[in-house]
Amino acid sequence: MKVTSVSVRAALVVGSAAAAAALAITPSQAATGYARCPAGKLCVFSGTNGSGVIGIFSTGDVDLGAAPGPSGLNNNIESVWNRSSSNFAFYPERNYNGGSADGISELVPRTAKATFYPKFRNTTSSIKKLG
């Protein structure tokens, strides 16, 4: 078979169309780590650096151990990203109790993104929006 510029161009067009079709049916990459946290929300994670189970909050939760709410996060939060415009307080007991003299175990200001210090990891049972 004689190769001509027309047959080469036809092969390129067919090959390009097949590649485009393959790209069109490939599922998009799911967000990972901190990138899973939507704008305007407080997100907590069961692992460091935004890994593990994610909990997404608008107002907090009086008891992370009770339903409804994200499963598996009671005393199992290691990192946080506060993408909201409010501060949040984290408490070691349900109903916003326990912690230091002011009752708060950890204060997470708006825009904060971090892994908790080891002494604050896996100690949160309730989360309260402070305003």
Write b or e for each residue in 38-55: b if 16 or more Cβ atoms lie within 10 A of its Cβ, otherwise e. eeeebbbbbbeebbbebb
Q: Which of 84, 78, 76, 77 is nearest to 112 (CA)?
A: 84
Q: What is the C-alpha to C-alpha distance for residues 121 and 131, in angstroms, rounded to an integer?
A: 24
Report the predicted TM-score, pTM, of the whole model to 2 decimal places: 0.73
Q: Which of 100, 94, 102 is nearest to 127 (CA)?
A: 94
The reported pLDDT for the residue numbered 102 is 63
The class (CATH top level) of 33-129 is mainly beta
Q: Which of 35, 27, 43 is nearest to 90 (CA)?
A: 43
The reported pLDDT for the residue numbered 31 is 83
pLDDT in tens, the chain (131 residues): 555 544 434 444 444 444 444 444 444 567 889 999 999 999 999 999 999 999 999 999 999 998 666 678 999 999 999 999 999 999 999 999 987 766 667 889 999 999 999 988 999 999 999 97
The reported pLDDT for the residue numbered 66 is 85
Of all helices (H) and strands (E), which one includes residue 121? none
Which residues are bridge partners to 88 per DSSP?
108, 129
How many angstroms separate the first and last alpha carbons of the chain? 76
Q: What is the C-alpha to C-alpha distance for residues 123 and 29, in angstroms, rounded to an integer?
A: 32
